């Protein structure tokens, strides 16, 4: 596939974007691409270039773009109105489906974004425990709130458990409310909990941290240690929820937290996220149960939006169909195996890490157990590799491939061919 030169329409939109948007974009993907439409496992830009899409809108489009069943559900609801700021049938039904599917979920509270879900999960844990500090794992992503933007991506990691702010505008005092631990190091985690459990409201963790899998026994150990001290354990399943299994990472790894956050897949491509968990913790959203002093106010104009809930319900119905998860995992395994084989074929040091629905390559042969191990990979080689893929019709983010139910055998073949050409060029450049 030969990339087309930018059309006048794309150039005009890009010029407008540079004028009216900081850095010319929305703050998400690089601003040098403008997507016009998507269908199945592919997207097209405003010039007409076609891409196999492994970005998937940063993950929500697990069943593919413009799935006819999702589209029909959305159109049916849009005819009845787009939002009410009140309970609605689709939102209530979606909450019931989450409770039925997700092991920790006894009750659900909807918000619009994953950032909100993580922020409110931490807040309700603080209300429940009557303590302020939280513990997160270095390199873990939990949205854009002040507490989440601690040691997400420090260029020069500090000494554990000291948190490092990730950007401007985060109050300096927040660092004193966040402890940081290394992922996959159960001994270090246990020592921190032993020393600080009296101050901690919650531990928040991605069950799979970005693309780093949990070591055998690590999540179970975190669960046991937090339970021992009565500290609330939060699984951030905004990414993994309904992606790794219908019951999420909790089902796949067999570990049940006290609370979890959900997003992406449950909104079917529309803004919708949720906090779910134990009823005694979720009670703090109910003034009638806990009283004024322990009540946590949470209001959102679009929380439980009926269009988003209808899209989410339609997406979940598709995922419940026989063979859906088997297909996603088969596609992912095929791609992961092909990438590993190509790295060996071209003699490029690297390894494929993650799970079949979500993975990437890190250009190092050293073991990868945590954020600092990823930093030791060849980031320049990764950038060069990714840069060679877009002109060959592959769209992905900087740090992962999202696999969808809609990716076809043709998409797989196209992807492997693009990888082969790009890695061959990298090998030649290194010779």
The residues assigned a catalytic role are 141, 236, 264
d(CA 382, CA 380): 5
Query: Is the CB of residue 343 less than 8 Å from the CB of residue 193?
Result: no
Tokens read off for 231: 């500290």
CA atoms within 13 A on the CB side of 236: 26
Strand partners, 204: 234
Query: Is the CB of residue 401 less than 8 Å from the CB of residue 58?
Result: no
Query: Is the CB of residue 378 less than 8 Å from the CB of residue 386?
Result: no
DSSP string for residues in 236-292? EETTTTTTSSTTHHHHHHT---SEEEE-GGGGTTSS-EEEEE-HHHHGGG-HHHH-T
d(CA 180, CA 163): 6
Q: Please give the distance of CA 211 from its chain centroid, rounded to a whole number.
A: 10
User: Per the omega criterion (within 30 degrees of 0), is the bond before 185 cis?
Assistant: no
d(CA 180, CA 33): 36
What three-state secondary structure class fits 128?
A: helix
d(CA 56, CA 196): 40
Query: Is the CB of residue 239 less than 8 Å from the CB of residue 206?
Result: yes
d(CA 324, CA 405): 7
- In this structure, the dihedral spanned by the alpha carbons of residues 390, 395, 401 and 404, taken in order and rounded to 10 degrees, is -150
d(CA 364, CA 242): 30
Query: Is the CB of residue 362 less than 8 Å from the CB of residue 353?
Result: yes
Choose among 251, 248, 247, 184: nearest CA to 221. Answer: 184
């Amino acid at each position: 596939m030969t990339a087309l030169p930018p059309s006048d329409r794309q150039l005009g939109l890009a010029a407008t974007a540079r004028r009216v948007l900081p850095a010319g974009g929305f703050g998400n993907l690089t601003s040098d691409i403008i997507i016009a439409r998507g269908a199945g496992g592919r997207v097209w830009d405003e010039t007409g270039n076609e891409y196999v899409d492994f970005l998937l809108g940063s993950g929500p489009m697990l069943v593919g773009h413009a799935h006819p069943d999702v589209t029909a559900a959305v159109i049916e609801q849009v005819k009845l109105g787009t939002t009410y700021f009140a309970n609605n049938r689709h939102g209530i039904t979606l909450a019931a489906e989450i409770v039925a599917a997700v092991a920790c979920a006894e009750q659900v509270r909807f918000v619009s974004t994953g950032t909100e879900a993580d922020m409110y999960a931490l807040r309700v844990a603080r209300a429940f425990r009557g303590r302020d500090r939280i513990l997160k794992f270095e390199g873990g992503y939990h949205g854009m709130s002040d507490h989440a933007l601690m040691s997400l991506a420090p260029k020069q990691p500090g000494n554990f458990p000291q948190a490092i702010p990730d950007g401007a505008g985060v109050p300096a005092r927040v660092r004193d409310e966040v402890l940081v631990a290394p992922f996959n190091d159960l001994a270090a985690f246990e020592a921190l909990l032993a020393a600080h459990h009296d101050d901690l409201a919650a531990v928040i963790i991605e069950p799979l941290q970005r693309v780093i899998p949990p070591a055998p026994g690590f999540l179970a150990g975190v669960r046991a240690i937090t339970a021992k001290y009565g500290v609330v354990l939060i699984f951030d399943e905004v990414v993994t929820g309904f992606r790794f299994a219908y019951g999420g990472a909790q089902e796949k790894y067999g570990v049940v937290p006290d609370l979890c956050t959900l997003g992406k897949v449950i909104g079917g491509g529309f803004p919708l996220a949720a906090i779910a968990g134990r009823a005694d913790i979720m009670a703090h959203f109910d003034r009638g149960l806990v009283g004024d002093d322990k009540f946590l106010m949470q209001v959102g104009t679009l929380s439980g939006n009926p269009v988003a809930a209808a899209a989410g319900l339609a997406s979940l119905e598709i995922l419940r169909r026989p063979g859906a998860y088997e297909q996603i995992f088969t596609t992912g395994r095929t791609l992961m195996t092909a990438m590993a084989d190509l790295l060996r074929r071209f003699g490029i040091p690297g390894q494929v890490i993650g799970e079949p629905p979500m993975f990437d390559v890190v250009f190092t042969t050293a073991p990868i157990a945590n954020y600092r191990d990823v930093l030791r990979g060849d980031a320049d080689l990764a950038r060069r590799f990714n840069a060679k893929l877009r002109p060959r019709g592959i769209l992905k983010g900087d740090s992962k491939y999202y696999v969808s139910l809609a990716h076809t055998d043709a998409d797989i073949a196209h992807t492997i061919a693009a990888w082969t050409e790009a890695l061959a060029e990298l090998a030649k450049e290194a010779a």
